[in-house]
Amino acid sequence: MSDVRILGTGAYVPDRIVTNDEVGAAAGVDDAWITAKTAMKQRRWAAPGQATSDLAANAAQAALEAAGIGAESVSVIVVATSTPDRPQPPTAVYVQQRLGAIGAAAFDVNAVCSGPVFALSAAEGILARRGGHALVIGADVYSRILNPADRKTVVLFGDGAGAMVLGPAPHGARVRHTQLHTFGEMSHLIAVPAGGSRQPADEDSVTAGAHYFTMIGREVRRFVNDYLPPLAKQFLHEAGVVPDDIRHFVPHQANGVLLDDVFAALALPRARMHQTLQHYANTGAASIPLTLDTAARQGAFHSGDLILIAGFGGGMAAGFALIEW
């Protein structure tokens, strides 16, 4: 059992609200269709000139204030994102600069929508060896990589960031257990084909739309339904808890209809599932820490409550964390 605790959380979303009718217009769908398929009603999109690091730094500052920790006390910054400011340097470097966290080791993690759980596990391990405090941030600006005419993807995503401050303390939410999975044989299900060394971004790739986010929706849904419930049950068993012990479920905010199916399959009889997708849609790596922060600020968690966090998405990947509030 780890002594690393979550000392504070924070979140940030851009000001611009994009309704279902607005986002669906170019894709040929309306509010009724999007609501029925996803349970999403609106999302936030970044302003021109607003990058992933800007959202991440704002969420991080809110988390630092909640924790009562100054940026000078941060020794590690991990940013989970699949929409970095640039291919290099790491987006975390820009967050470090903006916060003034001089001397902090700063790096990115790309496990797509499972990213914040991977980042949490990595930061916890680093702190267990070197001490200090860490910022774990999930942030994405998906609005920049969506094909406006693709109704399978454009209606699903919003922009945002969420953050957690980790550190040793006699109080705070204890990170009791984490577990990570990757299934590379299904890596083709979610991808941005162009922009890397395999297929550089050039005139031909942009003309072909290969710089856009792509997803084989039916196969992704099948992956989530077939893999997530048994993996989660295995995780709880290895963590030494039973489903009755869980009071809260904080999943990646992929799709509200899909989450209802997953929650039913998990059979957590005393748990409440937390969702923010109605307001923010799927914010990628931001969705778990953003939802955790929302629930925490609403007073949903009480001392001793066990929280199951589940991330899943491109890779294909899945990550779980057990938090004792």
Point out the catalytic residue in the list 20, 58, 113, 274.
113
Please give the C-alpha separations between residue 11 and each of 32, 59, 136, 242, 296, in angstroms, as whole numbers. 29, 4, 12, 30, 11
Q: Is 113 a catalytic residue?
A: yes
Cis peptide before 89 (omega within 30 of 0): yes
Could you say which of 20, 58, 255, 282 is catalytic?
A: 282
CA distances for 283 relative to 47, 143, 254, angstroms: 15, 10, 8
Question: Please, are residues 290 and 276 in contact by the beta-carbon 8 Å criterion?
Answer: yes
Q: Quote the DSSP letter at residue 199.
A: S
| Of 252, 255, 274, 279, catalytic | 252
The answer to whether the beta carbons of residues 175 and 166 sit under 8 Å apart is yes
Active site residue 133: no
Cα dist from 113 to 80, 86, 116, 134, 289, whole Å: 9, 18, 7, 20, 11
182: three-class secondary structure by DSSP: strand
Task: Name the strand (E) or helix (H) holding 191.
Answer: strand 190-191
**Phi and psi torsions of 15, nearest 5°:** -75, -35
225 is catalytic: no
- Phi then psi for residue 33, to 5 deg, are -65, -45
Task: Supply the residues annotated as catalytic.
Answer: 113, 252, 282
